[in-house]
Amino acid sequence: MNKRKWSKFLVAILCLTMSVWALAGCGGNSGGEEEAADDNVYTASEVTSDLSMADEVSAYYDAIDMDFAYDLTHELAYSEDLADFLGWRSAGSDSEHKCADFLAKKMEEIGLQNVDKVGTQCDKFQFNKSSLTIKDTDIELTPASYQVNGTNGDLTAEIVNVGTGFEADYEEAGDVTGKIVLAKVDQSNEAWIDGYAKMAHSKGAAAIVTWADSGYGEAGTDSVNVQDVCCADLLPTTAISADEAATIIDAIKAGNTECTLNVDAEMVDDGGTTYNVVGMIPGKNHDQKIIVSGHYDKYWYGFQDDCAAIGLVFAVAKGMVDSKYEPENDIYFICHGGEEWGSTDCMYDWTTGAWGMCMHEGYADDVLAMINCELPAFKNENGLQVVSVPEFFKMVSNMYDRGLLITNGETFFTKDNVETTTMEDGISYREAGVPYFLNGFEGSNFMVERYHTAYDDEGTYDADTFQTNIDWYGAYAIYVDTEPALELDLTATAKELKRECNADYAAEAGVDVEEYQAAVDNLKEAGKALNQKIKACNAAYEEAVANEDGETIKKAREEGAALNKTSLEAFQMIQDDFLNVTDFGAHYGHGPVDNNVGCIDGTLKGLENGILWSEEEDGSGACDNAYQLNSAIEYNYCIFSKEVADGTTSEYEKSYYKNKDHAQWGWNHQPAIVHTGEASYALFHAETVDDLDMDAITKIYKDAREGALDAIADYCKQEIKDMNDIADFVNGAL
């Protein structure tokens, strides 16, 4: 097992793990109360609820057309008319535009109204064709291109195997100026594609060909995997399979090194338009809305990611139309473009279409809930989950007791509360003040084996999982639509902020911890008061429906609408004030800054004990702690050059965007970092502690620790004010 790990997916896990470790003094975890294993599983074969919308939910279930859902998914995955080279549909491409037209027509066919294509600017990526040949061999390959410009015709140069593409590998390979480099990458356990591309570019390479046999694409050695490029357009960057790489390595060993790479791919900075395809079922009033969504851009077949999600969106819409459901509020069905990638030279290059949607006037206003969908039709060995923002945890938990949800075949829900990340379009809406749910799709073998490869195909399809997901999406939409007052629980916000504040570090930073706790309690009490109003309003509504009391029903709806305005405005304030993102992690408060203090303490202790990397894997080594700094961005100093790592750190520090006038969803939501790269680079490349200038190294870490404590003081001061302001706003509105 490699002890030196970093990746976008791992960062999310690390952030959660380190938060629980570093913040244990503040108590609690985001998953609610622990339950016995049997109590944590939910299955149901029929609707048993006595809630007012039970009949509508049952009618919706009966109207679901699974053949339609599957057929649409299959067409989106396999139609050559709706795809470019290798079956892709990328941001702003010809195939994405054709698919937008197709989806708009399909929405009209199933009876949705006000169908529209809402365009938003993106960086266009058009992948037309590719080839790789090696002279005097029979090697003829078709590499997959990353979201950068191609070779502008044939690029003929020597191809050099640079091993894992780390700094040390280039030192061993020698001068690669003007050459094509072949690098083995692991984007789950080592680094994202950006680091490999930057490293090759810094060494003067003309292009890089990557391959992988671990991390992602593990379904087969003939698998090719790609991800999104966050860095600038540096050099042609491609991917091939492990089997194909083996033939090239053999050719190089045999002395056949003249390679011709031709990649016809065009990346146009700010030169594209991605379309969000929108249709709706109008409600009895138009003051509030609900959104059901997925994205239609893809790699290869993209059967699960995300063609099946679009199949689900349409199946939910058709089921509601066919069951003649008459919503109280407008229900929008949105197929987002540009989710996988849409902006070059940008730390948050994905969910571009959804962010553009939120920037269009009105679309993100007064949204009670967005229900987003990703990868909904494969059998997850860990069961199904409803994932949500913390403020929806209570409603998600309660829904299992309300008798509306059903399951199919051997599917089951696990009832853990799981917080959303940044891995899908919901993060754009959350930043814009929209609370949301989605299906849980992480933590499965699918992500390691098939994600972003041609193995994401129809062979992954599980009908029971697909139907169960379609069932719950519609049931949740109908439930949120029917109940007058949105069950948005602000006490969960207070709980998260408490969890994300280490009391010991805060006290050391000079924070009045009692004042901080009082602010948490103030926000919690305001949330409780709002919850009581919400509960009473919905209870009055349910009783009035049972009694056919029209006047009370009307009054409850009016009261609910007023409460919803308060809840949604408070939720927007919470996102503005507290939301922080660290690559794929999304959470409240300054926990990552606390984590940095803990990591520095561990690093210094490791140095004091003379341990660089712990042989026992107990995390006691200086490097074991140092690489986790800045949410593990620091690991770049372990494998790449200091120049490359410095560039990456700088990009995170600046919350970097190529266009500073376009504030995308991650803008100003990144936590303060520490500047320890010089020390960490020396640490990672030392053989023993004796090789280090201990005075210089420890000074860098200690100075960084003081800076982090200063940041904690600033964060806490602002958080105290913001918590009290939100509490005052809620109390004043009530």
DSSP calls for 342-364: --SSBTT-SSHHHHHHHHSTTTT
Which pLDDT value is given to residue 301? 98
CA dist., res. 33 & res. 174, Å (int): 57
CA angle 579, 584, 585 (to 5 degrees): 40
Residue 504 lies in a domain: no
DSSP structure string for 152-169 = SS-EEEEEEE-TT--HHH
With CA atoms as reference, report the closest residue to 706 among 670, 734, 672, 677.
672
Tokens 């949301």, located at residue: 436
Residue 38: what pLDDT?
67
Overall domain count for the chain: 3
Q: Of 206, 233, 268, which closes a domain?
A: 268
Would residue 71 count as lying in a domain? no
Determine the residue type at 656: Y
Domain end point (choices 268, 289, 312): 268
- Check whether residue 587 and residue 718 sit in a common domain: yes
**Alpha helix stretches (DSSP H) within 579-626:** 591-608, 622-626
Question: Exposed, middle or buried by CB within 10 Å (0-12, 13-18, 19+), for 618?
Answer: exposed
Does residue 593 contact residue 506 with C-beta atoms inside 8 Å?
Answer: no
The answer to whether residues 236 and 352 belong to one domain is no
Contact 442, 423 (CB under 8 A): yes
For residues 427 and 152, what is the distance between their CA atoms, to the nearest angstrom?
36
Q: Tell me the two tokens of residue 352.
A: 């571009």
pLDDT tens digits, one per residue of 426-442: 999 999 999 999 999 87
Please check whether residues 475 and 542 belong to one and the same domain: no
- For residue 456, the SS3 value is coil
Residues of the chain with pLDDT below 50 are: 1-37, 660
Whether residue 241 is found in the same domain as residue 294? no
pLDDT in tens, 449-465: 999 999 999 999 999 99
pLDDT of residue 380: 87
Whether 100 and 134 map to the same domain: the answer is no
Report DSSP state, residue 110.
T
| pLDDT in the model for residue 659 | 52
* Residue 315, amino acid: A
What is the length of the chain? Answer: 734
Residue 514: CB atoms within 10 A of its CB come to 10
Q: And the tokens for 695?
A: 């005075």
Q: What is the 3-state secondary structure (H, E, C) of 18-83?
A: HHHHHCHHHCCCCCCCCCCCHHHEECCCCCCCCCCCHHHHHHHHHHCCHHHHHHHHHHHHHCHHHC
Is there a cis peptide before residue 123, judged by omega within 30 degrees of 0? no
Q: How far apart are CA 313 and CA 305, in angstroms?
A: 13
- The pLDDT tens digits of the residues spanning 601-625 come to 999 999 999 999 998 878 899 999 9
Given a contact cutoff of 8 angstroms between Cβ atoms, the answer to whether 516 and 506 are in contact is yes
* Collapsed DSSP state (helix, strand, coil) of residue 695: helix
**Which tokens is 372 given?**
């987003």
Instruction: Tell me: do 237 and 220 sit in the same domain.
Output: yes
Range of the domain at 445: 95-125+270-480
Identify the pLDDT of residue 651: 83
Instruction: Examine residue 50 and state whether it is found in any structural domain, yes or no.
Output: no
Residue type, 252: I
DSSP designation for 390: G
C-alpha–C-alpha distance, residues 228 and 237, integer Å:
11
**What per-residue confidence (pLDDT) applies to 381?**
82
Residue 358 lies in a domain: yes
User: Is 361 exposed, middle or buried, given 0-12, 13-18 or 19+ CB atoms closer than 10 A?
Assistant: exposed
Residue 579 lies in a domain: yes
- 331 and 231, same domain (yes or no): no
Q: What are phi and psi of 617, to 5 degrees?
A: 55, 35
Label the pairing between strands 413-414 and 367-372: unpaired
